[in-house]
Each structure stands twice: as C-alpha cells, then as structure tokens.
Amino acid sequence: MSNRKSYAVFGLGRYGRAVALELVSGGAEVLAVDLDEAAVNSLAGEIPLCKCADVTDPDVLRQLDIGSIDTVIIAMADSLEASVMSTMLCKEMGVGTVITKCSNDMHRKILTRVGADQVVFPESESGVRLAKNLLSAGFVDLLELARDVSMVEISMRPEWVGKTLLELNLRRKYGINIVAIRRGEELVINIDPEKPLAKEARLLVICNPERLGKLR
C-alpha cells in the first residue's frame, strides 16, 4: 500500500460494513475481509480491495500482508474465539493499532488482555463514528453536532506546550473554538486564557469539520 494510512476491516456485518464504507468514502486505503463470500461480493463494487478469507489463519494473514497495515478493525463480536485469535495474530505480526468490537464487558476484558488497543461496543459507538474518528488523524471523540459543526478532542501539539491560548490564538489561525480543557479525568470549563498549556492536556473544541485538515 502507499504512504497513506491503511486500514483493514475483518467482518463485514452491519458494523464492519459501515466502518469500511465510511473509511473508503473518506479517501482511506481499506482492505475488507470476511469469510462469507456473499458479504464480500456485496461490497466488491464499493471497496476496491475486498477479500474472502479466514482471518484466524496466520498463513492467510501473512498472504494479506497484515503486518503492513496501520490499523485493523475486528468487527466479529458474534465469535469471541475468532476475535481473540485475529487480535493476537495481528499484534504478533506488527499491526500498530487493533480495534476490536465486543458484545459484553467480559469479552472486553479478554480482548484487552490479548492485545486489543481499543475495544468498542456497537451499541454505544456506531461504525460510522469510529471511521470518522480514525480519519480525523489523531483527534478523538469526534461528535457531529450538525452537518457542518463537530466537537473534537485534540491532543496537545508539541509547539503549543508552555504557551497560552492568548498567544496561540487558535480561533483566528484554525477557526476552532475551545470550549474546555481536559487534564486527566478533570474537565476544565472555566478556562484561563493566560495560563500556559501542559503537555498532557487535551483541548475540547467545536469547529467546522473542514477546518480539521489544517491541524493534521
């Protein structure tokens, strides 16, 4: 694959399908995989790289060159065994980020222990939202407030550390409005614009999604 960030989606049920299609529509490189040939064929015209394969087989994953993929989304919550196997294999083969869908809290604990970097519950996080989070390139908790307004939590950029919001003037430079600062579990709403920003702080901002490109 090219130098763009690459993704693989294992399992093309409703959730996995939503993730894969949203990633593709956002311009990402996506490898979609399912053991069900009918599911694969139904997406063949919409996802350029769509394969029918067993993702619990290490030889298959090597043939797919999974180790070169940046992020793998495992959307097979109906099979804990398959989710566990594919999660472990992906991590062993060098995948940087493995996001696994689960069906309950016990499965979440198991999947976290075997290496999943993030575990999602489909009831609380839609496939579309997950894909948009991934496409936002480092931003987290992307929430659409309206068609052209999003709320995003942004990691502190190195050049911002130690500077104040007055100095940075992010609204003028990037067109973003800062509504809170997160420091660990604390969410500060009454912001002091003259207080230097700490490295571990995160900014909660509201902006037009098109503005996010300037921060990537």
Q: By the 8 A CB rule, do 137 and 28 touch?
A: no
pLDDT reading at 4 higher than 90: no
CA–CA separation, 16 and 12 (whole Å): 5
Q: Does the residue 200 lie in any domain?
A: yes
Does residue 42 sit in helix, strand or coil? Answer: helix
Pair 32, 43: CB distance under 8 Å: yes
Q: Residue 165: in which H helix or E strand, if any? A: helix 165-168
**DSSP codes of every residue in 56-123:** T-HHHHHHTTGGG-SEEEE--TT-HHHHHHHHHHHHHTT-SEEEEE-SSHHHHHHHHHTT-SEEE-TT
Same-domain pairing of 106 and 202: no
Q: Percent of the chain scored above 90 by pLDDT?
A: 43
Q: Are residues 131 and 162 in the same domain?
A: no
Pairing of strands 149-155, 140-146: antiparallel
Confidence at residue 3, expressed as pLDDT on a 0 to 100 scale = 43
Q: What is the largest CA-CA distance in the chain?
A: 59
Q: What is the mean pLDDT of residues 68-94?
A: 93
114 with 28, same domain? yes
33 falls within a domain: yes
Mean pLDDT calculated for residue range 51-73:
95
Residue at a domain's end among 83, 114, 135: 135
Percent of the chain residues topping a pLDDT of 70 = 82
Classify residue 181: in a domain, yes or no.
yes
Answer yes or no: do 110 and 55 share one domain: yes
Average pLDDT rounded to a whole number, residues 13-23: 90
Of the residues 102, 135, 168, the one at which a domain ends: 135
Task: Note the pLDDT of residue 106.
Answer: 87
Tally of domains within the chain? 2
Read off the CATH number of the domain in which 104 is found: 3.40.50.720
Dihedral angle, C-alpha 139, 159, 5, 85, nearest 10 °: -60
Containing structural domain, residue 210: 140-215
Q: What is the mean pLDDT of residues 85-114?
A: 91
Asked if pLDDT for residue 81 goes beyond 60, the answer is yes
Give per-residue pLDDT as tens, 168-195. Answer: 998 888 888 888 888 877 878 888 999 9
pLDDT at 172: 85
* Co-location of 131 and 144 in the same domain: no
Residues 97 and 191 in one domain: no
The pTM of this model reads 0.64
Beta-strand pair 49-52/118-120: unpaired
Residue 1 included in any domain: no
Higher-confidence residue of 57 and 185: namely 57
Q: What pLDDT does 2 receive?
A: 45
